[in-house]
Structure 1
Amino acid sequence: MEHLFKIFVYEEGDLPLFHNGPCKDIYSTEGIFLSLMETTTHFRTRDPEEAHVYFLPFSVVMILEHLFDPIIRDKAVLGRVMGDYVHTISTKYPYWNRSLGADHFMLSCHDWTHKLSVT
């Protein structure tokens, strides 16, 4: 299975929100995984037709760090970013639409609700 399993990584999106994440703090698993998906070819394929799953390479930490305003406290910012991203993916590629996203995955290796909680 390890030799056959292939992941397609979407290339849409710019740093720092996409294709990047922290690698040296308590949320480092997110950044390390993003980095490995960008640099390793063991599981990654550049041909979406041969992929088994599709990776959405965004960083929850970076989205919250760069777009969440602690004064306005808009908890829907992550939903808007992801909605826009999925819209971009689903209009450019057929893969989201053929499975309604069932073969797509993202990584969120931490509980980030404390940053969004109302005090």
Structure 2
Amino acid sequence: MEKQFKVYVYEEGEPPLFHNGPCKSIYSMEGNFIHNLELGGGLRTRDPDKAHVFFLPFSITMMVQFVYVKNSHDFSLIKQTVADYVDVIARKHPYWNRSLGADHFMLSCHDWVTYYLL
């Protein structure tokens, strides 16, 4: 399956919120996944027409660290960051729009993720 299944990683966005994640914490799966895809591995394709799915390389854990206002219980800045990123992707690439995002995914190991994205 690994030889056939292909993931396209969008290039948009800059660290620390995008293309980066923690690799040494309880949330390290997020960072390890991002870094493994970024390094190429067998799953990544640089040709979006060969991709089966599309990865949105943002890190909720990094957004909590750099965007969230501590103890505010206000998730709107993180929600807006994710919405803005998806908007950029939808405007620049045809892939989001052709499936309405059904073949796109993100990964989060943060326990607050449902508050951010719902």
1:75-90, aligned counterparts within 5 Å?
75-90=75-90
Number of residue pairs the alignment of both structures matches = 114
Q: Which runs of 5+ in 2 are unaligned?
A: none
Alignment of structure 1 residues 1-119 onto 2, 5 Å:
1-112=1-112
> Post-superposition shift, 1:75?
1.6
Deviation of residue 70 (structure 1)?
1.6
SS of the residue corresponding to residue 14 of structure 2 reads coil
In the TM superposition, residue 73 of structure 1 has moved relative to its aligned partner by 3.6
3-state SS of 2:101 partner: coil
Percent of aligned pairs sharing the same letter: 56
| Counterpart-to-counterpart distance in 1, 2:108 and 2:44 | 19
User: Which amino acid is the alignment partner of residue 69 of structure 1?
Assistant: V
Which deviates more, 65-74 or 76-85? 65-74
Normalised TM-score (structure 1): 0.90
Structure 1 CA distance, aligned partners of 2:37 and 2:15? 15
TM-score normalised to structure 2 length: 0.91
Misfit runs of 4+, over 3 Å: none
Tell me the secondary structure at the aligned position of residue 97 of structure 1: helix
The one-letter code of the counterpart of 2:102 is A
- How many Å separate the matches in 2 of 1:33 and 1:15? 15
Structure 1: 5+ residue runs without aligned partners? none
Between 100-109 and 38-47, report the one with greater CA deviation: 38-47
Q: Distance between the aligned counterparts of 1:57 and 1:81, measured in 2?
A: 13
Q: Distance in 2 between matches of 1:82 and 1:110?
A: 15
Paired with 2:69 and 2:40, the residues of 1 have a C-alpha distance of: 34
Question: Which stretch of structure 1 is more off in the superposition, 56-65 or 74-83?
Answer: 74-83
